[in-house]
Amino acid sequence: MKQQKRIFYGWWIVVGAFLLNFAGIGIIMNCYGIFIKPVVEALGFTRGGFTLYFSIAAISMMVTAPIIGKLLERHNIRLVMTICTAMMSASFALFSQCDKLWQFYVLSVFLGIGSAGSHIIPVSMMITNWFVKKRGLAMGIVFAATGIGGLIFNPLTNQIILDYGWSAAYLILGGIIGIATIPVALFIVRVHPREMGLQPYGAAGTESGEEDSTAEGLTASQSFRTATFWLLAIMILFIAVANMGVLHHIVPYLTDLGYSSTTAASLMSLHMGLLVIGKVCLGGLADRIGLSKSLIVCMVGLVASIGFLYNAQYFWVAVAFNIIFGFSISVRTVLPPLMTSVTLGQKHFGVIYGFLNIFTTLGTAVGVPLSGFIHDWTQSYNYAFALYMIIGVLAAAMGLIALARGRIQAPA
Protein backbone atom coordinates (compact mmCIF):
# COMPACT_ATOMS: atom_id res chain seq x y z
CA MET A 1 0.00 0.00 0.00
CA LYS A 2 2.80 2.42 0.84
CA GLN A 3 4.46 1.71 -2.48
CA GLN A 4 1.18 2.36 -4.36
CA LYS A 5 0.72 5.74 -2.66
CA ARG A 6 4.26 6.89 -3.32
CA ILE A 7 4.62 9.65 -5.90
CA PHE A 8 6.19 8.32 -9.07
CA TYR A 9 9.71 9.73 -9.21
CA GLY A 10 9.17 10.88 -12.79
CA TRP A 11 7.09 13.76 -11.44
CA TRP A 12 10.10 14.91 -9.40
CA ILE A 13 12.02 14.81 -12.67
CA VAL A 14 9.34 17.13 -14.05
CA VAL A 15 9.86 19.52 -11.11
CA GLY A 16 13.61 19.53 -11.58
CA ALA A 17 13.35 19.94 -15.35
CA PHE A 18 10.92 22.80 -14.79
CA LEU A 19 13.53 24.66 -12.72
CA LEU A 20 16.26 24.01 -15.29
CA ASN A 21 14.14 25.50 -18.07
CA PHE A 22 12.85 28.30 -15.85
CA ALA A 23 16.37 29.63 -15.37
CA GLY A 24 18.33 28.33 -18.34
CA ILE A 25 15.81 29.41 -20.99
CA GLY A 26 13.30 31.60 -19.15
CA ILE A 27 15.96 34.02 -17.93
CA ILE A 28 18.95 33.65 -20.24
CA MET A 29 17.09 33.36 -23.55
CA ASN A 30 13.70 34.97 -22.95
CA CYS A 31 14.97 38.10 -21.20
CA TYR A 32 17.80 38.78 -23.63
CA GLY A 33 15.93 41.50 -25.53
CA ILE A 34 15.61 43.66 -22.41
CA PHE A 35 19.39 44.17 -22.42
CA ILE A 36 19.81 45.20 -26.08
CA LYS A 37 19.04 48.92 -25.91
CA PRO A 38 20.56 49.65 -22.47
CA VAL A 39 23.86 47.93 -23.29
CA VAL A 40 24.07 49.29 -26.84
CA GLU A 41 23.37 52.83 -25.69
CA ALA A 42 25.73 52.62 -22.70
CA LEU A 43 28.71 51.06 -24.50
CA GLY A 44 28.24 52.42 -28.01
CA PHE A 45 27.75 49.07 -29.78
CA THR A 46 25.53 48.48 -32.83
CA ARG A 47 22.49 46.24 -32.38
CA GLY A 48 23.90 43.75 -34.86
CA GLY A 49 27.30 43.69 -33.18
CA PHE A 50 25.90 43.23 -29.68
CA THR A 51 23.32 40.60 -30.61
CA LEU A 52 26.12 38.61 -32.23
CA TYR A 53 27.19 37.46 -28.75
CA PHE A 54 23.94 35.53 -28.52
CA SER A 55 24.82 33.88 -31.83
CA ILE A 56 28.24 32.89 -30.55
CA ALA A 57 26.63 31.29 -27.50
CA ALA A 58 24.24 29.45 -29.82
CA ILE A 59 27.05 28.23 -32.06
CA SER A 60 29.00 27.07 -29.02
CA MET A 61 25.93 25.18 -27.86
CA MET A 62 25.45 23.78 -31.36
CA VAL A 63 28.99 22.44 -31.61
CA THR A 64 28.96 20.84 -28.16
CA ALA A 65 25.37 19.49 -28.23
CA PRO A 66 26.19 16.07 -29.77
CA ILE A 67 29.10 15.61 -27.35
CA ILE A 68 26.91 16.60 -24.42
CA GLY A 69 24.22 14.17 -25.60
CA LYS A 70 26.72 11.30 -25.50
CA LEU A 71 28.12 12.35 -22.12
CA LEU A 72 24.63 12.50 -20.63
CA GLU A 73 23.82 8.99 -21.85
CA ARG A 74 27.13 7.34 -20.98
CA HIS A 75 28.34 9.08 -17.83
CA ASN A 76 26.98 10.31 -14.51
CA ILE A 77 24.34 12.84 -15.54
CA ARG A 78 24.53 14.65 -12.21
CA LEU A 79 28.25 15.29 -12.57
CA VAL A 80 27.95 16.47 -16.17
CA MET A 81 24.99 18.71 -15.41
CA THR A 82 26.51 20.17 -12.24
CA ILE A 83 29.55 21.30 -14.23
CA CYS A 84 27.34 22.68 -17.00
CA THR A 85 24.89 24.55 -14.76
CA ALA A 86 27.76 26.12 -12.80
CA MET A 87 29.43 27.21 -16.04
CA MET A 88 26.17 28.61 -17.38
CA SER A 89 25.33 30.71 -14.32
CA ALA A 90 28.89 31.97 -13.80
CA SER A 91 29.39 33.07 -17.40
CA PHE A 92 26.06 34.92 -17.42
CA ALA A 93 26.92 36.72 -14.18
CA LEU A 94 30.32 37.71 -15.57
CA PHE A 95 28.65 39.65 -18.40
CA SER A 96 28.25 42.29 -15.70
CA GLN A 97 31.99 42.99 -15.90
CA CYS A 98 32.18 43.40 -19.69
CA ASP A 99 32.71 46.74 -21.41
CA LYS A 100 34.04 45.51 -24.78
CA LEU A 101 32.37 43.33 -27.40
CA TRP A 102 35.13 40.71 -27.44
CA GLN A 103 34.57 40.12 -23.72
CA PHE A 104 30.89 39.35 -24.34
CA TYR A 105 31.94 37.07 -27.19
CA VAL A 106 34.44 35.07 -25.09
CA LEU A 107 32.02 34.55 -22.21
CA SER A 108 29.27 33.55 -24.62
CA VAL A 109 31.34 30.51 -25.65
CA PHE A 110 31.21 29.21 -22.06
CA LEU A 111 27.55 30.18 -21.77
CA GLY A 112 26.78 28.02 -24.80
CA ILE A 113 28.71 25.00 -23.50
CA GLY A 114 27.04 25.25 -20.12
CA SER A 115 23.59 25.67 -21.67
CA ALA A 116 24.03 22.57 -23.85
CA GLY A 117 24.20 20.39 -20.75
CA SER A 118 21.71 22.28 -18.61
CA HIS A 119 18.29 22.42 -20.23
CA ILE A 120 16.94 21.51 -23.69
CA ILE A 121 18.89 18.29 -24.33
CA PRO A 122 18.90 16.73 -20.83
CA VAL A 123 15.34 17.85 -20.12
CA SER A 124 13.99 16.39 -23.38
CA MET A 125 15.98 13.21 -22.81
CA MET A 126 14.70 12.71 -19.28
CA ILE A 127 11.04 13.40 -20.07
CA THR A 128 10.96 11.02 -23.06
CA ASN A 129 12.72 8.34 -20.97
CA TRP A 130 10.53 8.71 -17.90
CA PHE A 131 7.10 8.97 -19.57
CA VAL A 132 5.14 6.85 -22.03
CA LYS A 133 1.67 8.03 -21.10
CA LYS A 134 1.25 11.76 -20.48
CA ARG A 135 4.55 12.43 -22.23
CA GLY A 136 3.10 15.39 -24.10
CA LEU A 137 1.65 16.85 -20.90
CA ALA A 138 4.94 16.39 -19.03
CA MET A 139 6.87 18.00 -21.90
CA GLY A 140 4.41 20.89 -21.98
CA ILE A 141 4.75 21.49 -18.24
CA VAL A 142 8.54 21.55 -18.18
CA PHE A 143 8.78 23.85 -21.19
CA ALA A 144 6.06 26.11 -19.80
CA ALA A 145 8.75 27.08 -17.30
CA THR A 146 10.50 29.08 -20.02
CA GLY A 147 7.46 31.31 -20.36
CA ILE A 148 7.06 31.67 -16.60
CA GLY A 149 10.69 32.72 -16.36
CA GLY A 150 10.16 35.33 -19.04
CA LEU A 151 6.86 36.44 -17.51
CA ILE A 152 8.48 37.12 -14.16
CA PHE A 153 11.91 38.33 -15.17
CA ASN A 154 11.23 40.60 -18.15
CA PRO A 155 9.58 43.33 -16.04
CA LEU A 156 11.88 42.56 -13.09
CA THR A 157 15.00 42.84 -15.24
CA ASN A 158 13.73 46.07 -16.76
CA GLN A 159 13.19 47.50 -13.28
CA ILE A 160 16.63 46.39 -12.08
CA ILE A 161 18.19 48.07 -15.12
CA LEU A 162 16.24 51.28 -14.51
CA ASP A 163 17.19 51.33 -10.81
CA TYR A 164 20.72 49.89 -10.76
CA GLY A 165 21.91 49.49 -14.37
CA TRP A 166 22.39 46.63 -16.80
CA SER A 167 25.56 45.38 -15.08
CA ALA A 168 23.74 44.76 -11.80
CA ALA A 169 20.97 42.98 -13.70
CA TYR A 170 23.40 40.49 -15.25
CA LEU A 171 25.00 39.81 -11.87
CA ILE A 172 21.73 39.34 -9.98
CA LEU A 173 20.21 37.10 -12.65
CA GLY A 174 23.38 35.02 -12.84
CA GLY A 175 23.07 34.31 -9.13
CA ILE A 176 19.41 33.35 -9.46
CA ILE A 177 20.25 30.99 -12.33
CA GLY A 178 22.84 29.20 -10.19
CA ILE A 179 20.49 28.88 -7.21
CA ALA A 180 17.72 27.43 -9.40
CA THR A 181 19.76 24.94 -11.42
CA ILE A 182 22.83 23.64 -9.58
CA PRO A 183 20.90 21.90 -6.74
CA VAL A 184 18.66 20.20 -9.32
CA ALA A 185 21.71 18.85 -11.13
CA LEU A 186 23.24 17.63 -7.88
CA PHE A 187 20.24 15.96 -6.25
CA ILE A 188 17.25 15.38 -8.57
CA VAL A 189 18.13 14.42 -12.13
CA ARG A 190 18.26 10.81 -13.36
CA VAL A 191 18.49 9.72 -17.02
CA HIS A 192 16.50 6.48 -16.85
CA PRO A 193 13.78 5.07 -14.58
CA ARG A 194 15.81 1.85 -14.34
CA GLU A 195 18.38 3.73 -12.22
CA MET A 196 15.72 3.63 -9.48
CA GLY A 197 14.29 0.21 -10.31
CA LEU A 198 11.33 1.71 -12.18
CA GLN A 199 9.83 1.70 -15.65
CA PRO A 200 8.50 4.75 -17.53
CA TYR A 201 5.17 6.17 -16.46
CA GLY A 202 2.43 4.32 -18.30
CA ALA A 203 4.54 1.28 -19.09
CA ALA A 204 3.47 -2.09 -17.72
CA GLY A 205 4.75 -2.51 -14.17
CA THR A 206 5.88 1.11 -13.84
CA GLU A 207 6.77 0.75 -10.20
CA SER A 208 7.52 -2.94 -10.10
CA GLY A 209 11.23 -2.65 -10.34
CA GLU A 210 11.20 -4.64 -13.57
CA GLU A 211 12.73 -2.96 -16.58
CA ASP A 212 12.58 -3.32 -20.29
CA SER A 213 16.14 -3.26 -21.46
CA THR A 214 15.19 -2.81 -25.11
CA ALA A 215 14.43 0.59 -26.59
CA GLU A 216 12.54 0.89 -29.86
CA GLY A 217 13.97 3.03 -32.60
CA LEU A 218 16.86 3.74 -34.91
CA THR A 219 20.48 4.10 -34.00
CA ALA A 220 22.04 7.52 -34.48
CA SER A 221 23.86 6.43 -37.64
CA GLN A 222 20.64 4.99 -39.10
CA SER A 223 18.74 8.18 -38.31
CA PHE A 224 21.25 10.38 -40.09
CA ARG A 225 20.62 8.42 -43.28
CA THR A 226 16.86 9.02 -43.27
CA ALA A 227 15.00 11.85 -44.98
CA THR A 228 12.89 12.15 -41.83
CA PHE A 229 15.88 13.30 -39.76
CA TRP A 230 16.73 16.05 -42.25
CA LEU A 231 13.12 17.16 -42.63
CA LEU A 232 12.92 17.53 -38.85
CA ALA A 233 16.25 19.36 -38.88
CA ILE A 234 15.05 21.88 -41.46
CA MET A 235 11.77 22.39 -39.61
CA ILE A 236 13.60 22.98 -36.32
CA LEU A 237 16.05 25.38 -38.00
CA PHE A 238 13.34 27.48 -39.64
CA ILE A 239 11.18 27.67 -36.52
CA ALA A 240 14.19 28.76 -34.45
CA VAL A 241 15.17 31.47 -36.96
CA ALA A 242 11.64 32.90 -37.03
CA ASN A 243 11.11 32.60 -33.28
CA MET A 244 14.39 34.10 -32.14
CA GLY A 245 14.50 36.68 -34.92
CA VAL A 246 11.24 38.11 -33.62
CA LEU A 247 11.42 37.32 -29.90
CA HIS A 248 14.55 39.22 -28.94
CA HIS A 249 13.62 42.28 -30.95
CA ILE A 250 10.08 42.72 -29.62
CA VAL A 251 11.12 45.17 -26.91
CA PRO A 252 13.48 47.22 -29.15
CA TYR A 253 10.83 47.25 -31.91
CA LEU A 254 8.04 48.43 -29.61
CA THR A 255 10.23 51.13 -28.09
CA ASP A 256 11.14 52.24 -31.63
CA LEU A 257 7.40 52.67 -32.20
CA GLY A 258 7.19 54.98 -29.19
CA TYR A 259 6.25 52.62 -26.36
CA SER A 260 8.09 53.10 -23.07
CA SER A 261 10.49 50.38 -21.98
CA THR A 262 8.14 49.58 -19.09
CA THR A 263 5.15 49.12 -21.43
CA ALA A 264 7.23 47.06 -23.86
CA ALA A 265 8.47 44.84 -21.03
CA SER A 266 4.89 44.42 -19.78
CA LEU A 267 3.75 43.36 -23.25
CA MET A 268 6.66 40.93 -23.34
CA SER A 269 5.42 39.51 -20.06
CA LEU A 270 1.98 39.06 -21.60
CA HIS A 271 3.67 37.13 -24.40
CA MET A 272 5.46 34.95 -21.84
CA GLY A 273 2.26 34.33 -19.92
CA LEU A 274 0.57 33.03 -23.05
CA LEU A 275 3.68 30.98 -23.76
CA VAL A 276 3.14 29.21 -20.43
CA ILE A 277 -0.48 28.44 -21.29
CA GLY A 278 0.46 27.47 -24.82
CA LYS A 279 3.09 24.94 -23.77
CA VAL A 280 0.86 23.20 -21.24
CA CYS A 281 -2.07 23.18 -23.66
CA LEU A 282 0.06 22.07 -26.60
CA GLY A 283 1.45 19.11 -24.69
CA GLY A 284 -2.06 17.95 -23.81
CA LEU A 285 -3.30 18.77 -27.31
CA ALA A 286 -0.58 16.61 -28.85
CA ASP A 287 -1.69 13.72 -26.63
CA ARG A 288 -5.31 14.16 -27.75
CA ILE A 289 -5.39 15.20 -31.42
CA GLY A 290 -1.94 14.15 -32.57
CA LEU A 291 1.24 15.88 -33.62
CA SER A 292 0.28 16.83 -37.19
CA LYS A 293 -2.85 18.78 -36.24
CA SER A 294 -1.05 20.39 -33.31
CA LEU A 295 1.74 21.51 -35.63
CA ILE A 296 -0.74 23.07 -38.07
CA VAL A 297 -2.50 25.01 -35.31
CA CYS A 298 0.75 26.44 -33.99
CA MET A 299 2.31 27.35 -37.33
CA VAL A 300 -0.80 29.12 -38.60
CA GLY A 301 -0.84 31.15 -35.40
CA LEU A 302 2.89 31.89 -35.63
CA VAL A 303 2.77 33.21 -39.20
CA ALA A 304 -0.40 35.23 -38.60
CA SER A 305 0.96 36.82 -35.43
CA ILE A 306 4.14 38.04 -37.13
CA GLY A 307 1.92 39.76 -39.69
CA PHE A 308 0.30 41.71 -36.85
CA LEU A 309 3.61 43.44 -36.14
CA TYR A 310 3.18 45.66 -39.19
CA ASN A 311 0.42 47.53 -37.35
CA ALA A 312 1.79 47.22 -33.82
CA GLN A 313 1.73 51.01 -33.37
CA TYR A 314 -1.87 50.41 -32.34
CA PHE A 315 -1.86 49.14 -28.79
CA TRP A 316 -4.59 46.54 -29.32
CA VAL A 317 -2.63 45.06 -32.24
CA ALA A 318 0.52 44.86 -30.09
CA VAL A 319 -1.53 43.05 -27.44
CA ALA A 320 -3.03 40.66 -30.02
CA PHE A 321 0.42 39.90 -31.42
CA ASN A 322 1.83 39.00 -28.01
CA ILE A 323 -1.16 36.79 -27.21
CA ILE A 324 -1.11 34.81 -30.48
CA PHE A 325 2.67 34.70 -30.85
CA GLY A 326 3.11 33.68 -27.22
CA PHE A 327 0.70 30.76 -27.59
CA SER A 328 1.93 29.63 -31.01
CA ILE A 329 5.66 29.71 -30.39
CA SER A 330 5.32 26.91 -27.87
CA VAL A 331 5.79 24.76 -30.99
CA ARG A 332 9.53 25.44 -30.83
CA THR A 333 10.20 23.43 -27.68
CA VAL A 334 7.24 21.10 -27.11
CA LEU A 335 6.74 19.36 -30.46
CA PRO A 336 10.28 18.66 -31.80
CA PRO A 337 11.28 16.14 -29.09
CA LEU A 338 7.88 14.45 -29.34
CA MET A 339 8.18 14.28 -33.12
CA THR A 340 11.72 12.91 -32.82
CA SER A 341 10.61 10.21 -30.42
CA VAL A 342 7.71 9.14 -32.65
CA THR A 343 9.58 9.15 -35.97
CA LEU A 344 13.08 8.07 -34.93
CA GLY A 345 12.51 6.34 -31.59
CA GLN A 346 14.08 6.16 -28.16
CA LYS A 347 17.05 3.91 -28.82
CA HIS A 348 19.59 6.72 -29.22
CA PHE A 349 17.30 9.64 -28.42
CA GLY A 350 19.93 11.64 -26.51
CA VAL A 351 22.44 11.52 -29.34
CA ILE A 352 19.86 12.04 -32.10
CA TYR A 353 18.15 14.95 -30.39
CA GLY A 354 21.55 16.35 -29.51
CA PHE A 355 22.29 16.54 -33.22
CA LEU A 356 18.85 17.95 -34.01
CA ASN A 357 19.39 20.57 -31.34
CA ILE A 358 22.31 21.78 -33.46
CA PHE A 359 19.69 23.18 -35.80
CA THR A 360 17.82 24.85 -32.96
CA THR A 361 20.94 26.66 -31.89
CA LEU A 362 21.97 27.38 -35.47
CA GLY A 363 18.57 29.01 -36.01
CA THR A 364 19.08 31.01 -32.85
CA ALA A 365 22.54 32.02 -34.02
CA VAL A 366 21.11 33.24 -37.32
CA GLY A 367 17.80 34.78 -36.25
CA VAL A 368 18.85 37.10 -33.44
CA PRO A 369 21.64 39.03 -35.21
CA LEU A 370 19.90 38.79 -38.61
CA SER A 371 17.09 41.00 -37.35
CA GLY A 372 19.64 43.35 -35.80
CA PHE A 373 21.67 43.66 -39.01
CA ILE A 374 18.54 44.11 -41.16
CA HIS A 375 17.50 46.91 -38.82
CA ASP A 376 20.97 48.47 -39.00
CA TRP A 377 20.90 48.36 -42.82
CA THR A 378 17.29 49.47 -43.43
CA GLN A 379 16.37 51.25 -40.17
CA SER A 380 13.35 48.95 -40.07
CA TYR A 381 12.36 45.41 -39.08
CA ASN A 382 9.78 45.06 -41.89
CA TYR A 383 11.92 42.96 -44.23
CA ALA A 384 12.90 40.66 -41.37
CA PHE A 385 9.28 40.05 -40.42
CA ALA A 386 8.35 39.21 -44.03
CA LEU A 387 11.21 36.71 -44.20
CA TYR A 388 10.11 35.00 -40.99
CA MET A 389 6.54 34.59 -42.25
CA ILE A 390 7.81 32.81 -45.37
CA ILE A 391 10.09 30.42 -43.53
CA GLY A 392 7.31 29.72 -41.02
CA VAL A 393 5.20 28.31 -43.87
CA LEU A 394 8.15 26.24 -45.08
CA ALA A 395 8.79 24.91 -41.56
CA ALA A 396 5.20 23.68 -41.29
CA ALA A 397 5.52 21.85 -44.60
CA MET A 398 8.76 20.12 -43.56
CA GLY A 399 7.27 18.97 -40.26
CA LEU A 400 4.12 17.57 -41.82
CA ILE A 401 6.10 15.65 -44.43
CA ALA A 402 8.35 14.20 -41.70
CA LEU A 403 5.35 12.97 -39.71
CA ALA A 404 3.64 11.61 -42.84
CA ARG A 405 6.64 9.40 -43.58
CA GLY A 406 5.60 7.19 -40.69
CA ARG A 407 6.91 5.82 -37.47
CA ILE A 408 10.50 4.65 -36.97
CA GLN A 409 11.32 3.29 -40.40
CA ALA A 410 14.91 2.17 -40.79
CA PRO A 411 16.70 3.12 -43.98
CA ALA A 412 17.13 0.50 -46.67
Query: Does 265 reside within a domain?
Result: yes
Cβ(287)–Cβ(201) below 8 Å: no
> DSSP letter at 314?
S
pTM across the whole model: 0.71
Question: What's the domain range around 397?
Answer: 2-404
270: domain CATH number?
Answer: 1.20.1250.20
Reduced to 3 states, what is the DSSP secondary structure of residue 80? helix
How many other CB atoms sit within 10 Å of the CB of residue 42?
13
Cβ(176)–Cβ(27) below 8 Å: yes
Query: What is the count of structural domains for the chain?
Result: 1
CA 127/CA 142 separation, integer angstroms: 9
Query: Does 411 reside within a domain?
Result: no
CA 281/CA 82 separation, integer angstroms: 31
CA 323-126-30 angle, to 5 degrees, is: 30
Query: Does 76 reside within a domain?
Result: yes
Smallest Cα–Cα separation from 10: which of 186, 191, 241? 191
- Tens of each residue's pLDDT in the chain, 412 residues: 344 457 889 899 999 999 999 998 889 988 888 898 899 999 999 888 888 888 898 888 878 877 887 788 777 889 999 999 999 999 999 999 999 999 999 999 999 999 988 987 888 888 888 988 887 788 878 888 887 888 889 889 999 999 999 999 999 999 999 999 999 999 999 888 888 888 888 875 544 333 444 457 777 788 888 999 999 999 999 999 998 888 878 888 898 888 888 888 888 878 778 877 887 788 778 878 888 899 999 999 999 999 999 998 899 999 999 889 988 888 887 888 888 888 887 777 767 877 887 788 788 778 878 888 898 888 888 999 999 999 999 999 999 999 988 654 433 3
Query: Does 343 reside within a domain?
Result: yes
DSSP 179-226: HHHHHHHHHT--S-GGGGT---BTSTTTTSS-------B--HHHHHTS
Query: Does 151 reside within a domain?
Result: yes
